[in-house]
Structure 1
C-alpha cells in the first residue's frame, strides 16, 4: 500500500529522532479521518510528515491539516513530503512551537479530529486542549496508548511518567460518559474517542 512519496517520508523519518507511525497505524489514521468526514484536523507532533500524509489521505478533498511541532527541520521535511504526495500548500498549515503555546490560539470547537503523537508526559494536558478544540461528534486520537504497562506501580517499581500520563488519559476517557472510546492494537496502540 506504500507508494513512493510515503516510502520517502518513512525513510526520512527513520533517519530522524522522530520515528514515524507504522503502516498499520497510518492505515488506521486514514480510516478514522475518513469515517467522520474530517475537514479540519489538528496534529500534535508533525514528525517528518508520515502521519500527516495518512491523515490527509483520509480527509475530505478540501480538508486542512494543522500540524504543530517545535522542530523546524521536521516541518520542512513534512512540507516536502506533503507536496510529493500531491497535497498543495493550502492543504497543510504547519505551525512551529510547543503544542501548549500554539493550541490555545486555535479556534474552540473548530476541528473534527485531533491526533496526538508527541511528548507523552503531556498527554493529559493535550487532552484538555483537544476537548476544547473538537466540535461535537469530533474525535481525539492518541498514539502510544499501549505504552502503559499492565504491571501496576508498586513499592519495587519506579513509575514511568509516560505510563502514568497514558493511564490518566485512558482513565478519563473510560470514565467520561460523553466519550465513545476504542483502543486499537496497531503499532504502539491508538486510543480513539468520539465526543
Structure 2
C-alpha cells in the first residue's frame, strides 16, 4: 500500500506500507486512529533513513582517491549510453576478484559493453599475473577499452578481446578455470548465460549478474512481460545449481552473486 502523507512542515511524501491493501471505500474507522496518527512519524523515519544512507554513501565516496583514467572510462561509456557500476559496486568487484584467486585460475571474464569501466575494477583485483577476457560484439567498445587499459598502465598481454556474441564463444573457454565471470546481457539471454558461465568457474569462483533483480519488480506476479518472465526462469534455474551459494544485493537494479563452493 502507498499513502500520501503531509507533514507538519507542509511537505508531502509518499509512504509505502507493506502487506496492507488499500480500497477507497474504506473509511477512517477501517484504518484506525493509531495508524493514521502514526503515518507522519513513519514518513519522518523514512526520510531520516534515506538521509543517513546518503550521508554514508557520500562519506564512502569521499575516501576514494581520484582516478582520472576511470573517470575518462565513465565518460566514454556515458557517450555510448552504457550502464556502468558505481564506485561502491566497482570496489566490490575488485574485492570479489581478488578473493576468488587460485593457482589454477585463468583469470576473469567480462561480458559487458562497458568493459573499460568493469575491466579496470577486475584488473585491480586480478593481481600482476591475472588475465582478463573481454567479450563484446561491438568493436568500438573494445577499442575504447584497450585505450583505457593502456592509459591505466596495464600491459596489453594482460587482456584478450573476443569481438563476438558472448554465447557464441563462451562455450569454447576452459571449464573450471576462471575465478570470476561478470555477465551483463539481455534478460532474454540470461538463462543461457548462466548455463554457459557456471561451468567456467573454478572452485571458489563467482558469477556476477548485475541488475538482474529488475528493481524488485520480479515480486509483482502481475508482470508477465517477456523480460520479467525470462529473468524468473533464469533465477529458478540458478536455484537448482549444486554447490552454489547465492547472494542477492541491493546494488544497481539488484545484483546476484553465484559462488561455486570450494
TM-score, scaled to structure 2: 0.68
Q: 2:86 aligns with which of 17, 22, 25?
A: 22
Q: Relative CO higher for 1 or 2, CA cutoff 8 Å, sep ≥ 6?
A: 1
The reply on whether 1:34 has 2:119 as its aligned counterpart is: no
The reply on whether 1:169 has 2:234 as its aligned counterpart is: yes
Matched residue, 2:49: none
Q: 1:123 aligns with which of 179, 190, 195?
A: 190
* Alpha-carbon distance, 1:175 to partner: 4.0
Instruction: Give the number of aligned pairs.
Output: 192
Q: Distance in 2 between matches of 1:25 and 1:168?
A: 25
For the residue of structure 1 that corresponds to 2:217, the secondary structure is coil
* Alpha-carbon distance, 1:177 to partner: 4.0
Q: Distance in 1 between matches of 2:199 and 2:241?
A: 15
Matched residue, 2:202: 135
TM-score, scaled to structure 1: 0.90
**Runs of 4+ residues deviating >4 angstroms:** none
Is the Cα contact below 8 Å between 2:211 and 2:251 reproduced in 1? no
Distance 1:177 1:105, change over 3 A: closer
The reply on whether 1:69 has 2:136 as its aligned counterpart is: yes
Q: Distance in 2 between matches of 1:167 and 1:24?
A: 27
* Alpha-carbon distance, 1:109 to partner: 1.6
Does 60-69 or 36-45 show the bigger shift? 36-45
CA deviation map 1:90-148 (0-9, x unaligned): 11111101011111221122211111012232011000111221122221110112215
For the residue of structure 2 that corresponds to 1:43, the secondary structure is strand
Matched residue, 2:245: 180
Q: 2:181 aligns with which of 111, 114, 117?
A: 114
Q: Distance in 1 between matches of 2:162 and 2:94?
A: 22
For the residue of structure 2 that corresponds to 1:49, the secondary structure is helix
Structure with larger Rg: 2
Distance 1:57 1:12, change over 3 A: same
Give unpaired runs (5+ residues) of structure 2. 1-63
Give unpaired runs (5+ residues) of structure 1. none
User: What RMSD over aligned residues (CA atoms) do the two structures have, in Å?
Assistant: 1.8
Is the Cα contact below 8 Å between 1:107 and 1:133 reproduced in 2? yes
